A and B are shown apart, each in its own frame.
Chain A
């Protein structure tokens, strides 16, 4: 899972023959590969976006990991563990995709741990009940898919190819999450209440995953021109709402938005005012669980340092023995 939502400032491209050729290839839907010429700003934008995506996968393991040891059946326990493992796998190959742009995983991890790099702020919300595991799969992964499907056609080859696999797995997660919600909403009164409470808490943060409204977003143009991004925040948000509201109604749940209504002419679901002040607070690091999330990552990193050192030392010894032999 992952969300975009953080529009990156990018420089306007200067005119040069390389730049013109580069843009022509993008316009022709050619893929840009690691050894190809690319503008510095394109490289920087991609490093930021791909690494944020990777960080989000890694931090995203924590809220769901919170329920692995308490999953209510062995089948659910195995499915959740496999899902969280998938997120780790996404992180791994996204870091690898970012490395093709000339950074190391270590540098990127340092940026996450030092607080310099961002990750999707959705993971700074807490998972308080088992239904949150369903809601995350259904809504958070559902929103992520809306963002990510277009990235399968991103102009940068390694990212686009990674996203094809990520999207396949995410859509499986999304169905799995919805199936948890369906089971709960057809279950006992306590389970139904759990499902409704989870929807109430996750709905608005999920709408925020698509980022600020287009009217307030100044940075999309270059990303659009470079075909890193293909749809606007509001466009993707609308697509998500239109797909999700009928699913929620099928569950017999209500959305925590009294203004939610379907436009009879366009068929689109219109939503109430999003609390952008909350979004800004969470993006700026003031998320409910933000301190805990980073602390958990730092702790794992610090406590694992001796293990990584041992692995390096052993590899060096082995190499030396081989050379001596």
Chain B
């Protein structure tokens, strides 16, 4: 099993699933379309990555998405965090995209089996990053309430950001912390938001130790597939 592809696939699927939960409920019609669009990109990335991950063992994308339990998922804790309000969703997307966008661009330039997938994903993540950054700036520098909500979201999610930088396998590439810092600090400054300085950081997603939220997400996502073993959809 290609553990690297599997973990990146899990990140994309779980975040894509979270965004898809917004569909029909977003603050404005334009955002319904945008969030669905990003979700579609991420689910598309997950499909390619799962296919790559399971190629050696003969597992297809649906087997990997629907028939593993939560302890077998190796996604980042950050992406399984619940949607919360729009500020939480945007902040989560921003923190993730600020890492994964340079990551895809870097790995696309290597000989990694992920490179072809990364080349396509990089184009998508560039848009995701721009969309989230623009919104974070609007929310941070919008009204007193939106500023408060954005700052709260940032403070809540920050302890899940160190995990972004952990290489998944020895041959994985790592985006330098400074790259992410440069992007994040510039946006936070424009958004008039304060960079949090938490006393601790949470880890565990890569080892299958998740927050309690993931089990519920999977229970919903996998229910129909699992209740009809062997069926073709």
**A224 vs B81: C-alpha distance when bound (angstroms):** 54
In the complex, are the beta carbons of A313 and B143 less than 8 A apart? yes
Chain B facing A: main interface SS: helix
In the complex, are the beta carbons of A85 and B37 less than 8 A apart? yes
In the complex, are the beta carbons of A311 and B24 less than 8 A apart? no
In the complex, are the beta carbons of B43 and A188 less than 8 A apart? no
CB distance from B177 to the nearest CB of A (A): 29
A101 at the interface (CB under 8 A from B): no
B172 at the interface (CB under 8 A from A): no
In the complex, are the beta carbons of B40 and A85 less than 8 A apart? yes
In the complex, are the beta carbons of A313 and B142 less than 8 A apart? yes
Which chain A residues border B28 with CB–CB below 8 Å?
304, 307-308, 311
In the complex, are the beta carbons of A73 and B36 less than 8 A apart? no
In the complex, are the beta carbons of B143 and A310 less than 8 A apart? yes
**A317 vs B26: C-alpha distance when bound (angstroms):** 24
The 8 Å CB contact of B24, one of A300, A306, A309, A310, is: A300
In the complex, are the beta carbons of B27 and A307 less than 8 A apart? yes
The 8 Å CB contact of A91, one of B29, B65, B142, B221, is: B29
The 8 Å CB contact of B231, one of A68, A81, A84, A190, is: A190
B56 at the interface (CB under 8 A from A): no
Q: Which residue of B lies closest to A184 (CB)?
A: B233
**A58 vs B85: C-alpha distance when bound (angstroms):** 21
Chain A facing B: main interface SS: helix
Q: Using A70-B223, A85-B37, A314-B142 as known contacts, say yes or no to A65 and B228 having CB atoms under 8 A apart.
A: no
Which chain A residues border B46 with CB–CB below 8 Å?
74
B210 at the interface (CB under 8 A from A): no
Top 6 closest pairs, chain A to chain B, by CB: A304-B27, A310-B142, A310-B146, A307-B27, A61-B24, A85-B36
Which chain A residues border B61 with CB–CB below 8 Å?
74
B69 at the interface (CB under 8 A from A): no
In the complex, are the beta carbons of A191 and B43 less than 8 A apart? no
Which chain B residues border A62 with CB–CB below 8 Å?
24
- Interface residue total, chain B, C-beta cutoff 8 A: 49
Q: Which residue of A lies closest to B85 (CB)?
A: A303
- Annotate B38-51 by CB proximity to A: 1 below 8 A, 0 otherwise: 01100110110010
- Annotate A83-103 by CB proximity to B: 1 below 8 A, 0 otherwise: 011001101100100000000
B21 at the interface (CB under 8 A from A): yes
CB distance from B210 to the nearest CB of A (A): 18
**A194 vs B162: C-alpha distance when bound (angstroms):** 46
Q: Which residue of B lies closest to A95 (CB)?
A: B29
Q: List 15 A-B contacts (CB under 8 A).
A: A61-B23, A61-B32, A69-B20, A69-B221, A88-B32, A95-B29, A130-B233, A183-B232, A183-B233, A188-B228, A188-B230, A304-B31, A307-B27, A313-B142, A314-B141
Which chain A residues border B223 with CB–CB below 8 Å?
70
In the complex, are the beta carbons of A191 and B231 less than 8 A apart? yes
B131 at the interface (CB under 8 A from A): no
In the complex, are the beta carbons of A76 and B233 less than 8 A apart? yes
A72 at the interface (CB under 8 A from B): yes
In the complex, are the beta carbons of B146 and A88 less than 8 A apart? no
Which chain B residues border A304 with CB–CB below 8 Å?
26-28, 31, 86
A43 at the interface (CB under 8 A from B): no
**A71 vs B223: C-alpha distance when bound (angstroms):** 9
In the complex, are the beta carbons of B40 and A187 less than 8 A apart? no
Taking CB atoms and an 8 Å cut-off, the chain A residues in 210-225 that contact chain B are: none
